[in-house]
Homo-oligomer: A and B are copies of this chain.
Amino acid sequence: MKVYEFDGFPNPARVRIALAEKKMTDQVEFVSINVPEGEHQQAAYLAKNPSGTVPALELDDGTVISECTAITEYLDASSGERALTGTTPKEAAVIHMMQRRAEAGLLDAVGAYFHHATPGLGPDIEGEQCSQWGEMQRHRAEQGMRYFDGVLADQPYIAGEAFSMADITAFAGLAFADFAKVEIPADCEALIAWRARVSKRPSIAG
C-alpha cells in the first residue's frame, strides 16, 4: 500500500498515528505530495484523488481511498481485531459521532481559520479566501475545545473508556491549532490533561 501525504500536516498525521497504533507503518510506502508547492492540485494527483486532499491510501489493486475516516476504517477492519473504530454497533456509532464532532468542531474549524483568516499556504494555493468565515470558525474551534473539555471531565477518552479514531482527530485538531495559533483556553484542564496523556502514546511519542 502507498500513502500520499505531506509530512507534518494535520490530516496526514491522523493516518500516521492510526498506522502506528495498528503497528502497520512498515506495510506502507509513503509518497510525498508537495502541498505548499501545489502538487495536490495538479492533474497527476487529481487523477488519483479527485478531492485533491492529502492523505490518500492506494491499495495494491490501485483503488485510492481518501478521507481520513475511510482510510482509518480500512486499516482497522483489514488487520484483524478492530482497535480504533469499535467492536460493537454502539461503540462504532459513538466513535463515528465523536470523530465527526472533532472533525467539524475542531480540526476543520481550525483549518477554515488558517486557510481563510490568515495567509494560509499563500495566494497561489489558497484561491478565494473569506476572512469572516475564518474568524467564525476560529470561534467555533474555541467552542469545540470547551465542549471536549467537558466530555473529558467525565471520561478518559473522546468517545468513552478507550482510545479511538475520535481521539486521533481531536489530537490532530489541537496540533493544527498550535500551528495556527488558536490557543486552548487555560481553564480547559481536562482537555489539556488528556492531550498530555495521549502525547505519551508510542504511536505519537515515537
Contacts of A92 in B (CB 8 A): 70, 73-74, 77
Give the size category of A's interface with B: 20 to 34
A contact patch SS? helix
**Complex Cα spacing A132 to B135, Å:** 13
Which residues of A does B touch, CB under 8 Å? 50-51, 57, 59, 63, 65-67, 69-71, 73-74, 77-78, 89-90, 92-97, 100-101, 105, 128, 130, 132-133, 136, 147
Question: Contacts A130-B132, A130-B133, A130-B136: A70 and B94 contacting too (C-beta < 8 A)?
Answer: yes
Q: Is the CB of A74 within 8 A of B90?
A: yes
Contacts of A96 in B (CB 8 A): 67, 69-70, 73
Q: List 12 A-B contacts (CB under 8 A).
A: A59-B90, A67-B97, A67-B100, A69-B100, A70-B97, A73-B89, A73-B92, A73-B96, A74-B89, A77-B93, A130-B133, A130-B136
